[in-house]
A and B are shown apart, each in its own frame.
Chain A
Amino acid sequence: MIGIVDYNMGNIRSVRNALLRIGEECTTVRTPNEIEQMDAVVLPGVGAFGAMMRHLDKLRIRDSLVNWIEDGNKFLGICLGYQALFEESEENPGVSGLGVLSGKVMKFRQGRIPQVGWNRVTPVGESIIPEGNYYFVNSYFPQPEEEKVAATTSYHREFASAVSTKNLLATQFHPERSGELGLELLRRWSCA
């Protein structure tokens, strides 16, 4: 069972529908106890970094998410759910992220902001990410340690559009909104 973290901000319906489409069972999770029951956890994201952290703290699930990931459990972060893994973001200076990955989230300084639309994702190394165009909506991008970068994308500069570790995948783009290619990525993640 895959748990989709519902922290009262984003539209989680599209993530749920995409997981159902690839034949996965999923449910929403909102408490530490619910998170612990899952086989895998998805942290979706729409909105601002600071607001998301506030909502996670309100639900008292910050530590559960950190422990979930650090204990080696299966995890997928999407968009803001990718940025939330880092220590901090230029979007809301002074607000602590989950901090399970080191590095900072930066703002794009060139081009139309936010980046809205389909952009090319190039996998790095032995990534499970199929190469192609994915749907992005973002003004900020994380700068992870180089060895964790799973894919790169260019938007007036190159940035890490995905990271992966043994148990974690996180993407700046929205696989649930990226057509059949996005569903294929979700399939590979859920089977991995």
Chain B
Amino acid sequence: MLSRRIIPCLDVNRGRVVKGINFEGLRDAGDPVELAARYYKEGADELTFLDISATKEGRGTIGELAAAVSDRVFVPFTVGGGIRSVEDARNILKNGADKVAVNSAAIANPSLITEIAEEFGSQSVVVAVDVKRRGENWTVYAKAGEKETALDALEWCEVAQSKGAGEILLTSIDRDGTKIGFDLELYTAVRRRLGIPIIASGGGGSVESFVELFENTDVDAALAASIFHFGRISIPQLKQQLRESGVEVRL
């Protein structure tokens, strides 16, 4: 049986890790390579790097960061932000990343998912989906949460899967950085429609919120940033307490 994965997320802006609330009000959280090495040592199951400035400012991707991370981190890691082509993906993967995350470019051109999957395998393509709740449904946002789209979250996740996504990283913008707990209804609804692994993100702020997520939904992994960066919970503490609560984790 597979363990549930705990994935620290490092949002990178101009070479520094930053973190905000509801995608705004960014605070500095340190150097990405140093922080990555620390999380690796502490037992993170994977790491995710998202260049949050890339799409907004039309900057390139963070291949150099991937190379520096791969010298020091010996668990899988994903890099996203501004990936628009197979060549962008190749640059990141050849620098040592295991997976790329695509978001806005896949919304504009869903066949990008297929192209990357055919070249490097589905296991290397994570489709990142940022959503906001609208009554009973969830709407997809592009451009790091700035641009509302006409896409329904559940429908878009299904399209992404059919195009060859290996995993879905599903972030609730409403919960992002709030530490009030994951949107359980969102993950329950998506799990019913998807066969591929789902990574839950947005709102993980206490051990209880992770226990609640894993006990009530069949997601494969939880991703979080603020609680790890600002020292509210250490990864070993979180995993130990998850295990004590009966959640299968790697210690």
Contact = CB atoms under 8 A, between A and B. Distances in A.
Interface of A: 11, 13-14, 17-18, 21, 46-47, 112, 114-120, 132-133, 135, 137, 154-155, 176-180, 182-183
Given A13-B96, A112-B195, A114-B122, 13 more contacts: A11-B96, A11-B98, A17-B96, A114-B123, A114-B166, A116-B220, A117-B2, A118-B5, A155-B1, A176-B74, A179-B43, A179-B75, A183-B74
Query: Which applies to chain A's interface (DSSP): helix, strand, loop or mixed?
Result: mixed
Given A11-B94, A11-B96, A21-B74, A118 B3 contact: yes
B76 A177 contact: yes
Nearest to A154: B1
Contacts of A14: 70, 74, 96, 98
Contacts, number: 72
Interface of B: 1-3, 5, 40, 43, 45, 70-71, 74-76, 93-96, 98, 121-123, 166-167, 195-197, 220-221, 250
Contact of B220 (A117, A154, A178): A117
Nearest to B124: A46
Contacts of B5: 117-118
A17 B240 CA distance: 29
Given A112-B197, A117-B2, A133 B74 contact: no
Contacts of B40: 179
Contacts of A46: 121
A99 to B, nearest CB: 25
Nearest to A156: B1
B49 to A, nearest CB: 15
